[in-house]
Amino acid sequence: MNKQDLSGFLETNIDIDLPDFVLNLIVVGVLCYLIKIFYKKFSTTLSNREEFSKNFILLGIATCIVITIVKNSLALSLGLVGALSIVRFRAAIKEPEELVYLFLVIATGLGGGAGQIKITISGMAIGLIIIYLNSLRSEKNIKNNQIINLGIIIEKKIGDKEINQILDDAKNISQELKFISMSKTNSDVSINLYNKPKKFQQLSKFSDLINKKFPNSKVIISQNNDLAI
């Protein structure tokens, strides 16, 4: 390839069909919205799922736009590499499950931007079905297990009224609940419980509720199959 050919290749005009582009954006937006719903309903992460998932749709659409623009231009592709080299994610990914959902959203945007709508829809459908089946299996495992260790750490001083409300909230998600211990100081409160949850998803909802009421808080959930209430 000589210099003239390379110059012509780099300066290739981008011809984007607007109706197809809009259709791709709509499909990507709908798929990312479905991923958001599945994440909020079936995720087992203890992070704030509403806060984490609120940008799923925007991320998918942005990815679709970028791929649509650069897919036919080597010059823009090289420029994209340079632009992404200065981008840094400030939000830490705490759990592998969060990373999986982000990859699903990005994959949706990539597929839409590349114009592979049928393949993208088929792939996302299979992925969402797998998520649903895994949630059923997780719920079945919880039913078969006897005990969940529930540790609640509030990094501030709270009164008896707040403590009783925490216990009531824990009772609402439990078939059975047993109080184990409590440590209370001038700066924090730690509560340890054994509980048998009604549904696995309710553990995550309980964690979200505690984090919403007490921003400086931690909810630690672990299984203990050797104990019975």
For residue 146, count other CB atoms closer than 10 A to its CB.
Answer: 14
| CA dist., res. 96 & res. 43, Å (int) | 11
CA–CA distance, 204 with 212 (Å, rounded to integer):
12
Which residues, listed in sequence order, are joined to residue 194 by a DSSP beta bridge? 149, 178
Please report, for the chain, the start and end positions of each structural domain, with discontinuous segments joined by +.
Answer: 3-142, 146-223
Residues 149-178 pLDDT 10s: 888 888 888 888 888 888 888 888 887 788
Tens digits of residue pLDDT in 36-77: 999 888 876 656 677 788 889 998 998 888 888 887 665 556
Pair 120, 111: CB distance under 8 Å: yes
What pTM, to 2 d.p., does this model score? 0.59
Neighbours of 62 (CB within 10 A): 16
146-223: which CATH architecture? 2-Layer Sandwich (3.30)
